[in-house]
Structure 1
Amino acid sequence: MLRAIIVDDEELSMKRLKRILSESGEFGVCHTFLNPLEAYEFMKTNQVDVAFLDISMPDINGMKLSNCLLELDSSIQVVFVTGYDEYAVQAFEMNALDYLLKPVTVERVNKTLGKINKKQRAAAVAPILTVLFFNGLKIYQGDQNEAPVKLRSPKTEELLAFLVYKGAVSREEIIDTLWNGLEPEKAGKNLNSTLYYIRKAISASKTEECILAGRSEIRIDESGIHCDLYEFERLLKAIRLAPACRAELAELFKQAEALYAGPMLKGKSYDWASEKRRRIEQDYIELLELAARFYLEGQEAHISLHYYSEILKLDGLREDISYKLIRLYVELERTHEAIREYRKLEELLQQELGMKPGLPMTELFMKLKQ
């Protein structure tokens, strides 16, 4: 069942659309909002498949709101609702799935539902392109069982990575990021020729389906692309929503750990990716800590050991994590491993910071030696 939100400052119109959607049998949840800001806050902590947005709203119109919602979750499908047919062209320029004219009818909504279902089915089949960001950059036509795509130059590779990373980006921002300093006309030609080489490498007919190039913006259609970064961020969001089912949360931890094969775009000196790389690594470390606490609460200390150890592989100077790891080894009567872990921390702190472990850690170690 699909999850939807309706945002419209006209209450009667909103109620009519909700009734039609509810009676369609396609939607399990359909939340309504008169205030766009409330819808935006709701999206921060809830998963939504489709957003029906009124275009003409005061303060924040539907077009602006759609951009804000897509920044929170780029996989959401947007359907604009309007009383003016003149907005239709604008809606499709923004790559909306569809638009509905007021007053909405059952027949017209059914056509929209057909498009939604088609897109859902397309997302379930093999992707046109697979782009893997973790532990380097790997690109495949189709899935990972296919041969890697060979791109013409490092700049061609960087442009494709940047497009997938951004999801939707203006041509102006692409030029400022990848061809900064060049004359505008020359930079524009470089962008067009580099985009041509991407199409040629992947096969133009298929690329048209997932890389949508307009006059002012280039957008990635995520239904045609599998990207480990997209999936990792979706898993993070699902974990932060704290599923009630313990088994479900354990499976999400497992999937997220499997995806994070190494630092994002490892070995690539892309300035535009550096801040995101640091944030994703920090998000991953926080996820590992959450998983360790989760298994401790479930009396599964041996699994907690694994997650604490993984944190130290990424940040060996985390004395607080070393302390928790050593305490667990002690509780499990694995004294030799506890001492070894202390020695490793002691040596690393001395080499990197010229410091010794803190008092709590030293006292714990002295007890181990007794």
Structure 2
Amino acid sequence: MRAIVVDDEWLALQKMKKLLEEQISSDYSLELVGGYQDSYSAIETASKETLDLAFIDIEMPELDGFELAERLLDVQPNLRIIFVTAYHEYAVKAFEVNALDYIMKPVHHDRLTKTLQRMIDSGNTGIAANKGTNRTMLCCLQNLHYVDQCGDTQPFPWKTLKAPELFAYLVHYRDKTVSKQSLIDLLWPDYDTEKATTQLHTAIYQIRKIIKTAGFDLEIKYKDEGYRLIWGEMRLDAEEWENSVRQLPPISSESVEKYQSIMVSYTGDFLEEHRYQWIEYEQERLRLIWLDPVKQLAEYYASLGQYTDAILLYQQIRERLPFAEDGYFGLMRVYDKLNYQLEVRKQYQLISDILQEEFDGEPSQELTEWYLEWSKGPN
């Protein structure tokens, strides 16, 4: 393990270096790359040398320990941070920066030994912990779960109710910073500030632990009073599904299997089973993307006289998008071909009642004109 020490107080810096040198002479494979009183010198070293571990004093001029940690992590994301402080109140904030540990001053040999052992146990010594995670896929269609590198579906072992919602929210807003206050207002609106903050920190810690255990190429960063989920090589089922829809060729006998595959792979709406209110817009957006290939497939089946297959798809459209005319109108036209007159009238009445009740509106001109023209026939 290659380590640096940063402390603006010369005596404290020398003591920390001496304690680490004692560890080097014992059983730990540790190399002390350097000790710095100046934060910018530490950043310069990190830009040139591969480091595993940084012991950082929090109370420093110019750049405090938290700012320095963020800068170092920007240069070397796998670097493990251990904060050294004389103040207990910094402990919680230390973990917001994804610190491995914090040590209270004055530092003692036994306490440092425990920290180094934790470093070894963590299994992350600068080697990319997420090697090969591009085969892992996070799944948000229907419910939140993941597929591991062996292709097996795995649930998340959540210990609190709000942690999965927080994780899902950060996934939805991946690579964007979400303010701490926004998260508290969303998930713990009825808690006082101190209790809500504690709950948030607990959930963040749990998510970080799950990310690490599962081997996800994801990272949560704390900066500017907010959290950002850094997205690496991780796959997301909803994103891959959406891309596959956008790459579909026109429907034909050669491409119909691709359309059928799109249907099968859309296992449910985005986080459908979790019923998070904030996700409704994303659910509707994906439903509308889903609608186009399903309509094309249903029309293709109807053109071949495969009316049962077409009816099943139009019924799915009606169930998934109950306020859209597409499912009802499609069923009306198929039922017309089958001469199911009562069913045609029933579908028109259903969509008329829904639009009137929900929006004080009526069916579109196209649908109304089709129905009126149909009504003039020998029905």
TM-score (norm 2): 0.50
- Superposed CA deviations along residues 183-210 of structure 1, whole A, max 9, x for unmatched, are 888766544321222244x374444x42
Partner residue of 2:242 out of 233, 258, 271: 233
Q: What residue ranges of structure 1 are gaps of 5+ in the alignment? A: 1-87, 96-118
C-alpha spacing 1:235/1:320, structure 2 compared with 1 (3 Å): closer
Matched, 1:358 2:360: no
Residue in structure 2 matched with residue 327 of structure 1 by the alignment? 333
Structure 2 Cα separation of the partners of residues 144 and 221 of structure 1: 20
Do the aligned residues in 1 keep the contact of 2:141 with 2:272 (CA within 8 Å)? yes
1:318 to 1:279, Cα distance in 2 relative to 1, 3 A: closer
**Partner of 1:343 in structure 2?**
346
Map residues 298-337 of structure 1 onto 2, 5 A cutoff. 299=304, 302=307, 303-316=309-322, 318-319=324-325, 321-331=327-337, 334-336=338-340
Deviation at residue 313 of structure 1 after TM alignment: 2.3
Q: Distance in 1 between matches of 2:152 and 2:369?
A: 53
Q: Describe the superposition over 1:124-178 as per-residue Cα deviations: whole angstroms up to 9, x where unpaired.
A: x4x2xx543333x2324727745522311221011121222223232x4354234
Indicate the SS of the match to 2:274: coil
Equivalent-residue separation in structure 2 for 1:141 and 1:304 (angstroms)? 32
Counterpart of 2:290? 284
Q: Offset of 1:311 from its aligned partner?
A: 1.9
Cα shift readout 1:77-118 (whole Å, capped 9, x = no counterpart)? xxxxxxxxxxx98985799xxxxxxxxxxxxxxxxxxxxxxx
CA separation in 2, counterparts of 1:203 and 1:122? 11
> 2-side partners of 1:139 and 1:320: how far apart?
32
| Identity, % of aligned positions | 17
Output the CA distance in 2 between the equivalents of 1:346 and 1:245.
31
- Kindly provide the CA deviation profile for residues 193-234 of structure 1, in whole angstroms up to 9, marking residues without a partner as x: 21222244x374444x42313342533545345x33122222
Counterpart selection for 1:255 from 239, 251, 261: 261
The structural deviation recorded for 1:339 is 3.0
- Paired amino acid for 1:367: G
Among 182, 199, 203, the alignment partner of 1:176 is 182
Q: What is the distance in 1 between the residues matched to 2:157 and 2:75?
A: 32
Distance of aligned partners of 1:234 and 1:187 in 2 relative to their CA distance in 1, 3 Å threshold: farther
CA contact (8 A) 2:241 2:262 kept: yes
* Partner SS for 1:153: coil
Amino acid at match of 1:238: Q
Structure-2 separation of matches of 1:288 and 1:320 = 10
In the TM superposition, what is the alpha-carbon distance from 1:316 to its structure 2 partner? 4.3
Q: 1:205 and 1:267 mapped to 2: Cα distance?
A: 24
Instruction: Give the total of aligned pairs.
Output: 243
Counterparts of 2:157 and 2:322 in 1: how far apart (Å)? 37
User: Per-residue deviation at 1:301?
Assistant: 5.3
SS in 2 for 1:358: helix
Unaligned runs of 5+ in 2: 1-70, 79-129
Is 1:198 the counterpart of 2:204 in the alignment? no
Equivalent pair of 2:332/2:347 in contact (CA under 8 Å):
no
Describe the SS at the equivalent of 1:152: coil
Give, in whole Å, the separation in 1 of the partners of 2:232 and 2:264: 21
Residue 348 and residue 324 in structure 1: after superposition, are their counterparts in 2 closer, same or farther (change >3 A)? Answer: closer
2:172 corresponds to 1:162: no
- Map 1:8-157 to 2 at 5 A: 122-123=133-134, 125=135, 127=136, 131-135=138-142, 137-140=143-146, 142=148, 145-157=152-164
**Contact between 1:323 and 1:361, CA under 8 Å: does it hold in 2?**
no
Residue identity opposite 1:166 in structure 2:
Y
User: Quick one: distance in 1 between partners of 2:344 and 2:306?
Assistant: 17
Alpha-carbon distance between aligned partners in 2 of 1:364 and 1:210, rounded to the nearest angstrom: 57
1:282 is displaced (CA, Å) by: 1.9
Aligned residues: CA RMSD: 4.2
Asked whether the equivalents of residues 342 and 365 of structure 1 are also in contact (C-alpha less than 8 Å), the reply is: no
Alpha carbons of structure 1 residues 120 and 286: separation in structure 2 relative to 1, 3 Å = farther
Of 254, 267, 272, the match for 1:266? 272
Task: Note if contact 1:263-1:277 (Cα within 8 Å) is conserved in structure 2.
Answer: yes
TM-score of the superposition, structure 1-length normalised?
A: 0.51
Contact 1:319 1:345 in 2 (8 A): no
Partner of 2:102: none
Counterparts of 1:144 and 1:277, CA distance in 2: 26
- 8 Å CA contact 1:131, 1:228 repeated in 2: yes
Say which is worse superposed, 185-194 or 306-315, in terms of deviation: 185-194
After TM superposition, give the deviation of residue 179 of structure 1 in Å: 4.2
SS of 1:335 mapped into structure 2: coil
Separation in 1, partners of 2:208, 2:74: 26
Tell me the residue number matched to 1:116. Answer: none
**Higher helix fraction: Structure 1 or Structure 2?**
1
Q: Which amino acid aligns with 1:288?
A: V
Pick the structure with greater CA Rg.
2
